[in-house]
Amino acid sequence: MTKDLTKGRPLTLIVQFGLPILLGMLFQQLYNVVDTAIVGKFLGGNALAAVGATGSINFLVVGGSIGICSGMAIPIAQRFGAGDHDSMRKYVTGAAYCCLFFAVTITAFTVIFCRQILELMNTPADIIDLSWAYITTIFAGIPGYILYNMCSGILRSLGDSRTAVIWLVVASVINIGLDLLFIINFHWGVFGAAFATTISQFVAGIGSLWKVCRGFDVLKMQKGDWGWSWRRIWNLLSLGVPMGLQFSITAIGSVMLQSSVNVLGTMYVTATTAANKVSIFLSCPLEAMGSTMATYGGQNVGAKKWERLGQGLRSCCLLGGIYCLFTLGLVLLVGDKLVMLFLDEASLPLVPLALQLLRTLVFCYVLLAIIHIFRNYIQGMGFSPLATIAGIMEMIARAGVSFLVPVYGFNAACLASPAAWVMADIFLVPAYFYCIKTLKKRYPAINE
């Protein structure tokens, strides 16, 4: 069942559409969290550090792949919002061609050069072999990530934010079971954790693909829908590549920061890993709001309903502010217990370090909320290059702070992400008003 976000009260629509997305993200993070928790509890601090040391490069590659898929879903949402189902189906097939190309090339490159990348990141010698075993297996599963995220992007574009969640729930259950089997019974170590995640991601992708192929009358392909069009391919790439680059460019700063933290030693890598895992889980609602606003923006731009864009933005910002206050209170009360989910008893002395980083991040979550909401909204409205510029500003700020880590130590590392968020927000807020002004000039006679 499709959902039209161009009609009805924006706040109600955002909540109804966003909740399934949030549930899906929570489950997606759940099996990442389960991986990390089982690794930390059963394999020890070094194994946890090995997984954590790959976090930034994982975000660089997998996040970039996800960004490409999300960007290519934008014209699909816009055509659906405009009621142009024939063109929408042609964009779906064009996206399939592009995804096949990216799945092959990204997987081949990352698997071949994985070891060299870890060495360039100053990965500590006592964990580099474990890090390589983990992240190479993840990279081999990139086609599964692309399959799932492209299909879920198509489903969201049509207003279906539930199907992908259902398959993520299934994948999460499978992942937990495989984690326990591979790590505890088979003794496959960090490779077992990565292999379980890869299998689970393919399950989610195949299940979502089945829904795309069988679940909607408007997606029943006609013979002419499979034709090649350079214009459509260019439109898809012009939105998908900048969005992927935005993820990757942002991650470059994270890679540089991770490299600086790696130099501090395994102890700091372990503490950073625990804090970041908690933060990633807690930030899922903010990401869900962003994904919701990308679809909301895409459909309403397609329908050329400008007055609803401002209404939707205000509603989502209100939700984001409320959630940030809730999260801050939660971390102040039970933050130590949250980081201990990822640490064994031998790593107990690292709790103060992990808690310092976690509290710093959560205190600045309102800045992160602005990024997710405004950046995704701008992308959904069809201005992906502007979001890429914001990613560049994030990268510059995070990379700049990374050079201070050898001088000021862990304190500087804690401030890197907030500094990056400030830089991005300074650009994104004015950029939104520029986008609105540009759209109204482009279509001056409609919905005024």
pLDDT of residue 136: 95
What is the residue range of 56's domain? 10-442
Cα 391 → chain centroid: 13
Taken in order 230, 100, 254, 322, is the CA torsion positive or negative? positive
Closest CA relative to residue 274, chosen from 356, 363, 339, 344: 339
Whether residue 72 lies inside any domain: the answer is yes
Whether residue 2 lies inside any domain: the answer is no
Whether residue 1 lies inside any domain: the answer is no
CB atoms within 10 A of CB 278: 26
User: Could you tell me the two tokens for 284?
Assistant: 């899922």
Whether residue 309 lies inside any domain: the answer is yes
Whether residue 381 lies inside any domain: the answer is yes
Whether residue 448 lies inside any domain: the answer is no
CB atoms within 10 A of CB 26: 18
pLDDT digit string, tens, across residues 265-309: 888 888 888 888 889 889 989 988 988 898 888 888 888 888 888
In the predicted structure, residue 233 carries a pLDDT above the cut 80 = yes
Identity of the amino acid at 215:
G
Closest CA relative to residue 70, chosen from 165, 151, 166, 169: 151
Kindly give, in sequence order, each residue whose CB lies less than 8 Å from that of residue 105, ignoring residues fewer than 6 positions away.
Answer: none
In the predicted structure, residue 98 carries a pLDDT above the cut 70 = yes
pLDDT of residue 444: 61
Domain count, the chain: 1
Whether residue 447 lies inside any domain: the answer is no
pLDDT of residue 447: 43
Stretch (H or E) spanning 253? helix 230-264
Task: Show the CA angle centred on residue 71, arms to residues 160 and 398, nearest 5°.
Answer: 120
Closest CA relative to residue 363, chosen from 430, 422, 431, 288: 422
Task: Show the CA angle centred on residue 337, arms to residues 335 and 342, nearest 5°.
Answer: 105
Whether residue 4 lies inside any domain: the answer is no
* Mean pLDDT value of segment 390-418: 87
* Mean pLDDT value of segment 346-352: 82
In the predicted structure, residue 344 carries a pLDDT above the cut 80 = no
- Residue 307 class from Cβ within 10 Å (0-12 exposed, 13-18 middle, 19+ buried)? exposed
pLDDT digit string, tens, across residues 244-276: 877 777 677 677 777 778 778 888 888 888 888
- What are the backbone angles phi and psi of residue 188, rounded to the nearest 5°? -90, 0
